[in-house]
Every structure is written in structure tokens, then in C-alpha cells.
């Protein structure tokens, strides 16, 4: 591929195990890229599990296909026990300490401040990501910037921690900030700290949770970092894609409630921001540039391409819930998350080979099915805006 002379950003939203879908799509893009070529997206922005994918690519920005191969290998090998503790006895003790803290209002130890203990994930990430190579790739020009999003517990602000050349400036807007830093494991753990599920992470003087929680404008960090073309690899279907359920409604379980909450966090803000972008693009196309300049309005067209799963990843998880470790399976069954619409919760926590490999295959197939559109988008003169689905193009 010969890219257009603009900064292109790859945006990888969060979603636990669902982020394997992104890696499948990246594998298709790597196949369309000649060997030894650098990253075709100079700007990388990741949130939650998508941040792990983004930072891994940043460490291999000088060789895109190698970076994707490393990601594919990691996701194929990962197990639920590599991400969080799955032992039934330990889950019970941890859960009781967490519940006791909730009922009494007394803060317990930091490691007991959530339902699950993901302490194992930090060690795994340290072993597989060479954070030092990010600076090397920034100096060589293979990478322009990489950003990881988290949410501050004390302020509720959406914080973008980014690593970039000295010329990149921090920003501050309404309830969101961009901060220059040197990224490390703790930034990834903070970005993946789903409230109640995984413990908060301390960075400096503040505590942080999953970056999706208060990220009302998920496209914004990429634009602040210079992107004028964005490729978004979603981890779920948007409202127009999802079929209505024909199940006889029952009183919602904890898992169904939690699943809807997570879908709101991981998907709805992205969909709303894409709609805003579409409207701004239309405005930019009808208002003369000199008129915008006269009024002091900075408004430019931003090209966007969104790849979303062709199937419901929550429904797909139902077929693999029985493969979870016994302790986690027992917990999920109690929450009602192994059946019906409650399976959405399971889909975020199901780091088992069968499910992960199915997502890798689906991401690859979905990207290859749109390879001509992707190729056109990543070339100068390609479509200016590609919507969420063919039905949105009218």
C-alpha cells in the first residue's frame, strides 16, 4: 500500500477478550502490506484491551507484519488464568473480602477492591512488550505517537497518556486531558481496570480505571495527535447492526445489567462520536473555507473508516462459556452470564483459546471482505467517509 501524505491513526477501543477481533483484522491488513514495511498508521490510540494491542504495535512500528505476528501469537497463547486468578478457593476469598468492604464501607486492601484479581496480567505484559523500543521507533520516524486512555477516579476526567516526539503538546479540554509520558505496564493496567471487575491502578498521585468509562469523544485523542484520517476497529456491533432479540423477556440478571453497562461504555460513546464526525464532515463540505476562517472556526474534513464485527460477539461467547475454568464458570453462572443476553459479560472475560481463535478468524474474514474499501481508504483519493455499515450510506 502507498499511503496518502497525511497522518493516519488506528483507533483500538476496549472490550476485554473481544479485542482479539481487532488482531484478526490487523492480520488481514498485514497480509495486504509488503514485508518489512513500517506501521501504516503513524498514530496509535488504544483503550482497555485495545491499549495492549496498540502498545504492542508501537513497539514494532518499524515492521508492521512482525508486530501483528507477535500480537497473533500472544492472543493464541493467552488463557483466562494468565489475565486473572481463576482458582475457585482464591476467587471465593477475594470475592468475600470485596463484598465485606462493600457492605461495611471500610476500604480493604488494594488487591481486594474488585471482584477479580488480575495481578498476573502485569507480569505477562512485562514479558511480552519491549517498551524501550517505542522511543526508538519515535526517533526513527516509524511512529508519530501512541496513546493509552484511562479515567481518573478523583476528577472523572478522561486522561490520554501519550508518548510522542518533543514537538507534541499536551491538551486540556472539558473533562479530558492529554498528558505526555513514557508508557509502561501500569498505564496498560490502568486502561484495562474495568470498575468493580478489576482493581484500580495508581499512577502518580491519582487512581485510574478503564479508559472507556468517561471517554465521551474517543476519536479526539487521535485528532489532537495530528491525525486527519482514522481507522477504527470496533469490538462490537452498533445499534443499526444488531438484530432485535425475540427471547421472552425475563427479569434482568446481574450479568444482563452489567453486560448492557459494559456495552454502553465500550460501544455507545464511539457510535455517538462517529455520528458527530459525520455531521462535522458534512458541515465542512458545504461551508466555504474562507467563511470558516473569517469566523475563526477551525473545521477540517476527517476521513474515517469503521470496521465492526459482522456477528454478535456476545452471542458467539455462549458456545464457549463451558470452557471457562471451573471457578470462573461457577461465578458466571451465578451472575446469569452463561445464557441469553447475559452472555455479553462473559464475552469480555472469556480469554479461552476456542473463543479467542474464533474472534481472530472473524476479524480476519471481515477485513478481507472489505479489502478493496480498506485499500482505497488507505490510498490518497479513496472514499472520504466510510460509514458503519452499507445501510448507512444513503
CB-based contacts of 315: which residues, under 8 Å, 6+ apart? 343
Per-residue pLDDT band for 278 (boundaries 50, 70, 90) equals confident
**Residue 5 pLDDT exceeds 50:** no
Interatomic CA distance for residues 253 and 244, integer angstroms = 19
Per-residue pLDDT band for 377 (boundaries 50, 70, 90) equals confident
CB atoms within 10 A of CB 131: 18
More reliable by pLDDT, 274 or 74: 74
Interatomic CA distance for residues 108 and 360, integer angstroms = 39
In DSSP terms, which residues pair with 296 in a beta bridge? none
Per-residue pLDDT band for 249 (boundaries 50, 70, 90) equals low
Question: What local confidence, expressed as pLDDT, does residue 382 receive?
Answer: 46
What is the model's pTM?
0.88
CB atoms within 10 A of CB 285: 10
More reliable by pLDDT, 12 or 344: 12
Nearest to 221 by CA among 4, 47, 35: 47
**Residue 350 pLDDT exceeds 70:** yes
More reliable by pLDDT, 208 or 114: 208
Question: What local confidence, expressed as pLDDT, does residue 375 receive?
Answer: 86
- Residue 105: exposure state from Cβ atoms within 10 A (0-12, 13-18, ≥19): exposed
Interatomic CA distance for residues 100 and 279, integer angstroms = 48
Q: What is the mean pLDDT of residues 179-203?
A: 94
Question: What local confidence, expressed as pLDDT, does residue 3 receive?
Answer: 40
Question: What local confidence, expressed as pLDDT, does residue 20 receive?
Answer: 98
Q: What is the mean pLDDT of residues 187-201?
A: 93
| 32-51 b/e (C-beta count within 10 Å ≥ 16 → b) | ebeeeebbbbbbbbbbbbbb
Per-residue pLDDT band for 6 (boundaries 50, 70, 90) equals low
* Cβ contact 212:159 at 8 Å: no
CA angle, 250 then 251 then 256, to 5°: 95
* Residue 32, CA atoms < 13 Å, CB-side half-sphere: 22
Question: What local confidence, expressed as pLDDT, does residue 259 receive?
Answer: 65
Q: What is the mean pLDDT of residues 143-156?
A: 96
CB-based contacts of 295: which residues, under 8 Å, 6+ apart? none
Per-residue pLDDT band for 264 (boundaries 50, 70, 90) equals low
**Residue 393 pLDDT exceeds 90:** no
The DSSP element (H or E) to which 229 belongs, if any, is: strand 229-233
Query: What percent of the chain lies above the pLDDT cut of 70?
Result: 77
**What is the residue-averaged pLDDT of the chain?**
84
Of 83-87, 199-203, 374-378, 379-383, which one has max mean pLDDT? 199-203
The per-residue DSSP string of 49-112 comes to: HHHHHHHHHHHTTT-HHHHHHHHHHHHHH--HHHHS---HHHHHHHHHHHHHHHHH-----GGG
Question: What local confidence, expressed as pLDDT, does residue 103 receive?
Answer: 63
Interatomic CA distance for residues 378 and 219, integer angstroms = 18
**Residue 157 pLDDT exceeds 80:** yes
CATH 3.40.1090 is held by the domain 8-238+253-380: yes
**SS3 state at 393:** coil
Q: Tens digits of per-residue pLDDT, 112-149?
A: 567 888 989 999 999 999 999 999 999 999 999 999 99
Q: What is the mean pLDDT of residues 139-167?
A: 95
Which of the 8 DSSP states describes residue 267? Answer: I
3-class SS string, 154-210:
CCCCEEEEEECCCCCCCEEECCEEEEECCCCHHHHHHHCCCCCCCCCEEECCEEEEE
Instruction: Classify the C-alpha dihedral 369-18-63-146 as positive or negative.
Output: positive
Interatomic CA distance for residues 15 and 236, integer angstroms = 8
**Residue 389 pLDDT exceeds 80:** no
Question: What local confidence, expressed as pLDDT, does residue 282 receive?
Answer: 82
Question: What local confidence, expressed as pLDDT, does residue 1 receive?
Answer: 42
Instruction: Classify the C-alpha dihedral 385-389-392-394 as positive or negative.
Output: positive
Question: What local confidence, expressed as pLDDT, does residue 386 receive?
Answer: 43
Q: Tens digits of per-residue pLDDT, 167-177?
A: 889 999 999 99
Q: Tens digits of per-residue pLDDT, 43-100?
A: 999 999 999 999 999 999 999 999 999 999 999 999 999 999 888 777 777 666 666 6
Q: Which of 257-266, 278-287, 288-297 has the lowest mean pLDDT?
A: 257-266
Q: How far apart are the two ends of the chain, measured CA to CA in Å?
A: 29
Q: What is the mean pLDDT of residues 206-217?
A: 91
Nearest to 328 by CA among 200, 193, 194, 197: 197
Amino acid at each position: 500500500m502507498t499511503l496518502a501524505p497525511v497522518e493516519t491513526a488506528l483507533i483500538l477501543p476496549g472490550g476485554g477478550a473481544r479485542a482479539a477481533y481487532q488482531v484478526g483484522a490487523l492480520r488481514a491488513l498485514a497480509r495486504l502490506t509488503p514485508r518489512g514495511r513500517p506501521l501504516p498508521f503513524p498514530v496509535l490510540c488504544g483503550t482497555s484491551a485495545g491499549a495492549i494491542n496498540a502498545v504492542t504495535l508501537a513497539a514494532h512500528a518499524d515492521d508492521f507484519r512482525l508486530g501483528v505476528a507477535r500480537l497473533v501469537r500472544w492472543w493464541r497463547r493467552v488463557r483466562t488464568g494468565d489475565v486473572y486468578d481463576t482458582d475457585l478457593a482464591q476467587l471465593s476469598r477475594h470475592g468475600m473480602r470485596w463484598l465485606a468492604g462493600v457492605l461495611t464501607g471500610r476500604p480493604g486492601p488494594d488487591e481486594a477492591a474488585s471482584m477479580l484479581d488480575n495481578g498476573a496480567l502485569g507480569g505477562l505484559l512485562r514479558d511480552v512488550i519491549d517498551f524501550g523500543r517505542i522511543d526508538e521507533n519515535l526517533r526513527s520516524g516509524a511512529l508519530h505517537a501512541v496513546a493509552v486512555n484511562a479515567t481518573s477516579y478523583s476528577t472523572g476526567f478522561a486522561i490520554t497518556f501519550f508518548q510522542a516526539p518533543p514537538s507534541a503538546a499536551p491538551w486540556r479540554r472539558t473533562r479530558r486531558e492529554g498528558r505526555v509520558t513514557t508508557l509502561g505496564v501500569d498505564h496498560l493496567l490502568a486502561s484495562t481496570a474495568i470498575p468493580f471487575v478489576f482493581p484500580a491502578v495508581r499512577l502518580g498521585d491519582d487512581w485510574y480505571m478503564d479508559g472507556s468509562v468517561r471517554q465521551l469523544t474517543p476519536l479526539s485523542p487521535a485528532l489532537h495527535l495530528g491525525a486527519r484520517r482514522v481507522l477504527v476497529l470496533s469490538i462490537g456491533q452498533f445499534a443499526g447492526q444488531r438484530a432485535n432479540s425475540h427471547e421472552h423477556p425475563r427479569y434482568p440478571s446481574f450479568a444482563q445489567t452489567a453486560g448492557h453497562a459494559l456495552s454502553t461504555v465500550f460501544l455507545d460513546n464511539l457510535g455517538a462520536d462517529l455520528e458527530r464526525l459525520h455531521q462535522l464532515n458534512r458541515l465542512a463540505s458545504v461551508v466555504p473555507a474562507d467563511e470558516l476562517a473569517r469566523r475563526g472556526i477551525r473545521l477540517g474534513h476527517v476521513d474515517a473508516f469503521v470496521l465492526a464485527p459482522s456477528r454478535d460477539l456476545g452471542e458467539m461467547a455462549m458456545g464457549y462459556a463451558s470452557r471457562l475454568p471451573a471457578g470462573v464458570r461457577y461465578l458466571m453462572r451465578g451472575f446469569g452470564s452463561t445464557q441469553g443476553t447475559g452472555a455479553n459479560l462473559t464475552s469480555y472475560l472469556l480469554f479461552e483459546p476456542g473463543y479467542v481463535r474464533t474472534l481472530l478468524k472473524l476479524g480476519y474474514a471481515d477485513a478481507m471482505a472489505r479489502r478493496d474499501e480498506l485499500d482505497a481508504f488507505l490510498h490518497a483519493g479513496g472514499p472520504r467517509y466510510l460509514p458503519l455499515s452499507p445501510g448507512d450510506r444513503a
